[in-house]
């Protein structure tokens, strides 16, 4: 019973039910295990109902004893989906999304603006698809090392964007050559997204930071 005299139904319906274990294995065949800190957060939060949990996830001060780490948020996003708690799902997902925005945009800032938005959306869609897939355990690692998993998704997207930039560069060069041979009419209608050497250096510098 809360201090207001209201009886709250715990998230899992029973305080005795432990957090669902992970099932995904690493490269050595060992099952992933959450950190003791995250496991403790989940157990503590299971005492709350969905309304109170939604309020707790809004705590952004990571020095607060009630702060919930990203791995814990992932656990409850999946639980909200399982229990069809739509409002709780939206609230928890919103918190996780807000925490990711600045980090992802900062590390993609060396791309042109239109590519930053495109890359950001691709990273978020990929991560969300892993977290929300309740039929598979491919998203378990996000409950173990969330930021590392996000960084890995960003590196994949970085590589994809750079390859697309290289293709655009080649097409623009071909277009310029054909224009020189056949007059002013361009052979291809391709937007000029050519990056300067300085911009390419910035992108490579950002990539090296992510890989570090």
Distant-in-sequence, close-in-space partners of 48: CB < 8 Å, separation ≥ 6:
8, 10, 11, 56
Strands (E), 33-170: none
Of the candidates 202, 185, 191, 184, which has an alpha carbon nearest to the alpha carbon of residue 168? Answer: 191
pLDDT in tens, 3-41: 333 344 566 554 446 788 899 998 899 999 999 999 999
Give the contacts of 15 (CB within 8 A, at least 6 positions apart).
Answer: 46, 47
Chain segment 126-141, per-residue pLDDT in tens: 999 999 999 989 889 9
Average pLDDT, the chain: 80
Over range 102-125, report the average pLDDT: 84
- pLDDT tens string 168-195: 766 666 656 666 555 555 544 444 555 5
**Residue 111: Cβ within 10 Å count:** 22
Residue 212 pLDDT greater than 60, yes or no: no
pLDDT of residue 27: 87
Question: pLDDT confidence of 106, banded at 50, 70, 90?
Answer: confident
Note the pLDDT of residue 138.
85
pLDDT score recorded for residue 4: 36
Q: How far is CA 188 from the centre of its chain?
A: 36
- Residue 158 has a pLDDT of 83
What predicted TM-score, i.e. pTM, was given to this entire model?
Answer: 0.72
């Amino acid at each position: 019973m809360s201090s207001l005299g209201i009886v709250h139904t715990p998230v899992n319906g029973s305080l005795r039910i432990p957090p669902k274990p992970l099932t995904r294995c690493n490269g050595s065949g060992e099952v992933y295990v959450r950190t003791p800190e995250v496991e403790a957060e989940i157990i503590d939060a299971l005492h709350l109902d969905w309304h109170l949990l939604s309020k707790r996830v809004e705590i952004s001060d990571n020095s607060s004893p009630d702060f919930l780490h990203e791995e814990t948020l992932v656990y409850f996003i999946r639980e909200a989906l399982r229990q069809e708690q739509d409002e709780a799902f939206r609230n928890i997902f919103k918190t996780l999304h807000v925490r990711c925005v600045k980090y992802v945009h900062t590390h993609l800032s060396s791309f042109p603006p239109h590519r930053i938005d495109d890359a950001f959306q691709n990273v978020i869609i990929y991560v969300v698809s892993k977290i929300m897939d309740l039929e598979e355990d491919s998203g378990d690692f996000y409950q173990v090392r969330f930021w590392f998993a996000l960084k890995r998704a960003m590196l994949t997207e970085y590589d994809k964007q750079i390859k697309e930039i290289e293709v655009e560069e080649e097409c623009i060069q071909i277009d310029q050559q054909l224009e020189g041979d056949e007059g002013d009419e361009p052979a291809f209608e391709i937007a000029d997204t050519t990056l300067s050497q300085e911009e390419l250096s910035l992108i490579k510098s950002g990539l090296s930071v992510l890989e570090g």
